[in-house]
Chain A
Amino acid sequence: MPFLASLLSNLRSRAGSDQKTPSEAPSLEVHAGLATQASDLSFAEIFRTQARYLWRALLGLGVRSADVDDVCQEVFLVVHRRLPEFDGRALRSWLYAICLRAASEYRRSARVRHELVVAELPEGSFAGSQLETVAAREAWQHLLGALETLDEEKRAAFVLYEIEELSLREVAEAMSCPLQTAYSRLQAARTHVRAHFDSRSGA
C-alpha cells in the first residue's frame, strides 16, 4: 500500500506538471540560464539541476570534502522546507544564500574549529594516467589555501563569482548586500588570491 500511495502521488505530480505549457514550464535545462519566474519549481528539479553546483559551492566555501555531504543534506532540507514560500524569483541567489548560511554555520561549529585536520590522506604512488587528476587537485588545494586566508564575505564573493559563475547582481542578492559591496569584496578577494599565487610563483 505504501508503494501504491507513492505511485499515485507520482502520477498526480506528473499530471500537474504536464498541464503546463512549454512557455510556463520552468526552464531548468541549463544551470547558468535558470529562469527565475517559475513559481512551481519542484524540489526534484532543483535537486537534479542544482545539487552538483551547490555541492561544489560548499567545497569552495570551506566545507571539507569529508563533511560536504552532511552540509549539502542540510541545505536541501532547508530548501525543501522553504520551497513553498519561495516566490520563484532569483532561484540561484536564494539557493546560494542558503549555502552561504550552511557553510558559515559549519565553519563556526566547534567541531570544525577545534578539529585538527590532516587535509589529505598521504598519497601512495600514482599511475601515470592520474597526472591530470593530481595536478588539478594540487591546483585546487592551492586555491583553497588562498581562500582560507580570506574573510567569509570576500571568500563568498570570490567563490560565487569566479567558480559558480553567478552574475555580480546574483552574488549581491545571495549575500544580501548592495551591488557595490559585492564588487568591493570580489575585488579585494581577487587581489588577495592573486598575491597568494604570486608569492608561490616567486618562491
Chain B
Amino acid sequence: MSQDPKRLIHHEPSALVDALQAGRRNVPTDAQLELLAQRLLRHGIPAHELPRAPNTPGPRPTFGASPRRLSPLAKLGLASIGLGVIAVGTLLRAHGESAPSSADVPLSSAAPQFLPAAQPPATSSPALPQVESRRNEAPRNQAVRPTPTAEPDDGARPRLDSPATAEAGVSEPAAETTRSKAVAPSAALVPSVKSPVQSPRPHAASPANASSNSASAVAPGAAPELDSEALPKAIPPDTEISLLKKARNALSADPLTAYGIAERCAREFPNGTFAQERDFITISALHRLGRAHEAKSRAASFRSHYPRSAYLPQLERMLGHE
C-alpha cells in the first residue's frame, strides 16, 4: 500500500484538489441513511440486522462511526476490580481495623454503575428517529415483501481475496448477466470471477485493455510508480467564488490583500451573486487594517442596502467595539 502512487489530493493546492476534497465530503446525511435503512426494512432486511435506533437494546446506532462500548473482556476486568475492592474492604473490616470509608464507596457505586452498562445505553443519538416503529412493523411488512431466500442463487460469489490471482490475471471473467428488473436486487450486481460458464468480461478481452496492459512496464507485484509529473501550475479561473475564497482566506493573515481582492471582485462582478459576502469581507478587512472610519461608513451603506442581512449582527459586534 505504501508503494501506491501519491494521491492527487496530496499534491499542490489546485482546482482539481478542491474538487477531490469536495468529492470526499459528498457523503449522505444521517437522515438520508435513515431513510435508506427504512427502505431496506421494507425490502426484506430483518429489523435486527439494521443499525439499531435510539432507545432500542444494543449499541447506539451511529452511522459512519462505530459505537464505543465495553468489550466483554473489559467488562470482566471492571467486575474483577470491583470484586477485588469488595474483598479488600471486607478483609479490613474483619480484622477490626478502621477501614477507610472510601473502600465502601465502590461497593455501593461500582456495581450499580456496571450493571446498567449491560442495559441499553442512556445516551441516544438524534439519528434514526423512526426506526423503532418501523422495526415493530417488520414482521407485518414481511408478508407482502419479497423473501430474499426465494431468490434464485446463481452461485456467483466474489473471490477477490487473492491479490496474487488478480495480478497474474487469473481472475475469471465477471458475470455479464442479463438485466433484471429495476426494483429487484439484481444478481448481476454481484461481482463474480468464478463461474466458467459466464461470458467473458468485455473489458478484459478488449484490445484496448490488452494494449493498456502491455503499455505498462511496471512489473506485477511491485507497485507501479506513477510518473511524478507535478500537477499543472494552472491558475484557477477567477470566478466570483474563487476570488471571494481567496479574499476570505487572506482576511486574518493579510487584510490588505483581502481588501484588494474584494475590491477587484467588486469591479469584475459588480452584480455578483455574493455581493453581501464581498462587502462583508471588505468591511472586515478595513476594520483589521485600522481604517475604522471607512469601515463604519461602508457598514452604514451595507446596512441600508441589506437591512435584513445575516451579516449585520456580526458587523455590529465587530464595529461596536470601536
**Which residues of A pack against B, CB within 8 Å?**
2-3, 5-7, 9-11, 13-14, 18-22, 25, 28-29, 31, 36, 42-45, 47-49, 51-53, 55-56, 59-60, 68-69, 72-78, 80-82, 85-87, 89-90, 93-94, 97-98, 100-102, 105, 108-109, 111, 125-129, 131-132, 134-140, 142-143, 152-153, 161-163, 165, 167-169, 172-174, 176-181, 183-188, 190, 193-194, 197-198, 200-203
How far does the Cβ of B61 sit from chain A's closest Cβ, in whole Å?
7
Bound complex: CA A85 to CA B148 (Å): 14
What's the dominant secondary structure at chain B's contact region? loop
Check if A176 sits within 8 Å of B191, measured CB to CB: yes
Contact with A along B39-72 (1 / 0, CB 8 A): 1100111111111100011100111101000011
**CB distance B158 to A80 under 8 Å?**
no
Number of residues from B at the complex interface, CB < 8 A:
113
Q: A21 vs B274: C-alpha distance in the bound complex, in angstroms?
A: 56
- Residue B24 at the chain A interface, CB threshold 8 Å: yes
**A174 close to B160 (CB less than 8 A):** yes
A44 touches B32 (CB 8 A): no
Q: How far is it, in angstroms, between the C-alpha of A81 and the C-alpha of B61 when the chains are bound? A: 22
- Which of A52, A76, A136, A176 has its CB near the most chain B CB atoms (within 10 A)? A176
Contact A51 B224 (CB under 8 A): no
CB-defined interface of B128-157 with A at 8 Å, one 1/0 digit per residue? 000000011111100000001001000001
Q: Please report the C-alpha to C-alpha distance between residue A188 and residue B280 in the assembled complex, in whole angstroms.
A: 43
Q: Does B289 contact A (CB under 8 A)?
A: no
CB distance from A14 to the nearest CB of B (A): 6
How far apart are A63's CB and chain B's nearest CB, in angstroms?
12
A188 to B36, CA, bound (A): 35
Flag the segment in B107-115, B178-186, B291-299 that touches A. B178-186
In the complex, the answer to whether A6 meets B48 with C-beta atoms within 8 Å is: yes
Give the chain A neighbours of B253 by CB distance below 8 A: none
Chain A residues near B234 (CB, 8 Å)? 197-198, 201-202
B174 within 8 A of A: yes
Q: Does B197 contact A (CB under 8 A)?
A: no
